[in-house]
Homo-oligomer: A and B are copies of this chain.
Amino acid sequence: MSGNTISVLFKVTTWGESHGPATGAIIDGCPPGIDLSEAEIQAELDRRRPGTLPSASTRREMDRVEILSGVFEGKTLGTPISLMIRNRDVKSDAYDDLRDLFRPGHGDITYQAKYGIRDHRGGGRASGRETVGRVAAGAIARKVIAQAGMIVTAWTRELGGIAAHPLSLAAAEASPLRCPDPEAEKRMAARLEEARASGDTLGGIVEIVVRGCPPGLGDPVFGKIDADFASALMGIGTVKGVEIGAGFEAARMTGAACNDPIGPEGFRTNHAGGILAGITSGAEIVIRVACKPIPSIACPQDTIDVKGRPAVVTVSGRHDVSVIPRIVPVCEAMVSIVLADHLLRQKAITP
């Protein structure tokens, strides 16, 4: 979990700057003999592409994934799977004005502080584009965990302060905003249009649900699966909060109300969100993440330049109004990667 690699056995490393030649991922530790095609990975990448909704940028990304290694005659070899997606449609000149300016809310100023150098074009490594590699890797993780019966689904629970209720998780996939509540979705779309008109952006809350997870996944203490979920999700650029099961609401409950009674048929409630003492219980896993509004806004903002002098920056270019819904498959990917890793770890110690 250091640098640019996550996991112990199902290891994923992503690489690539937003406006560099390409972006990609290595998956090291995928079990052998799994059917895998570029088309399957491409399908997941297409789910994260900008659509035609008010939330989307007008930028057209044509992300074509190429499998460079680790797959032979349509099956995984057990060796590292190298995935590459060329960066296209790159208008780097639009970023010339930002070479010496730090955009508020962005990593410009911290990358400069850390490295003394940065690729200022489109956020470089801190760009949302980095998540392309995650989604590609997540597509493979999904296949690994599907073999054990696990299905990961995320949906838009809140956008711009408008809350939704899931009528059915299946409906989320059909919705352009990944929101299974049609009435809320309509209001969200209007709210997005409103924000776009004023050059502003919106945040939201995504909920991730895992069905079919077997009990016993997760290590004690520093390899707890909830700790790994938290790390994997908080490591998405936009995320400022992670909660599991009752989450922050649990802080206001009493023990008698919060404990989930157990019957022969299973847990009668699910305030634990499917995890007890860092190990899955077999109940549905429920996680929520808070996404901040995209920091690239079309209004002038106070900032400083690399020499510390006051300046005003206005971020132009094509930008999304909200990371939702594009962040939804990214959340699914991260949760799938963590599950795949713990599934393999558990296999290692099971007699």
Q: Which residues from B are CB-within-8-Å of A242? A: 230, 234, 241-243
A195 touches B227 (CB 8 A): no
Q: How many residues of A contact B (CB 8 A)?
A: 151
Q: Which of B117, B251, B290, B297 has a CB less than 8 Å from the CB of A204? A: B251
- Looking at the assembled complex, report how far the CB atom of A165 sits from the nearest CB atom of chain B, in whole angstroms: 16
A222, A245, A252: which has the most chain B beta carbons within 10 Å?
A222
Residues of B within 8 A of A248 (CB): 205, 240-241, 243, 248, 290
User: For residue A255, which residues in chain B have a CB less than 8 angstroms away from its CB?
Assistant: 105, 200-202, 293-297
Of A15, A79, A200, A255, which is in contact with the most chain B CB atoms at under 10 Å from its CB? A255
On whether the beta carbons of B220 and A125 are closer than 8 Å, the reply is yes
**Complex-state Cα separation, A254 to B295, whole angstroms:** 9
B254–A235 touching, CB < 8 Å: no
**Chain copies in complex:** 4
Residues of B within 8 A of A279 (CB): 107, 110-111, 113-114
A237 contacts chain B at the CB level, 8 A cutoff: yes
Among A39-47, A67-75, A166-174, A175-183, which stretch is in contact with chain B? A67-75
Give A83 Cβ to nearest chain B Cβ, in Å: 10
Query: For residue A316, which residues in chain B have a CB less than 8 angstroms away from its CB?
Result: none
Instruction: Determine whether the beta carbon of B303 is less than 8 Å from that of A261.
Output: yes
For window 239-264 of A, CB contacts with B under 8 Å fall at 240-264
Question: Closest Cβ of chain B: how far from A335's Cβ, in Å?
Answer: 14
Say how far A283's CB is from chain B's closest CB, in angstroms.
10
| Distance (whole angstroms) from the CB of A160 to the closest CB of chain B | 8
**Contact of B3 with A223 in the complex, beta carbons under 8 Å:** yes
Query: A residues 273-308 with Cβ under 8 Å of B?
Result: 273, 275-282, 290-297, 299, 301-304, 308
Residue pairs across A and B with Cβ atoms less than 8 A apart, 9 shown, are: A4-B223, A26-B26, A32-B116, A78-B117, A105-B258, A227-B234, A258-B292, A258-B293, A263-B310
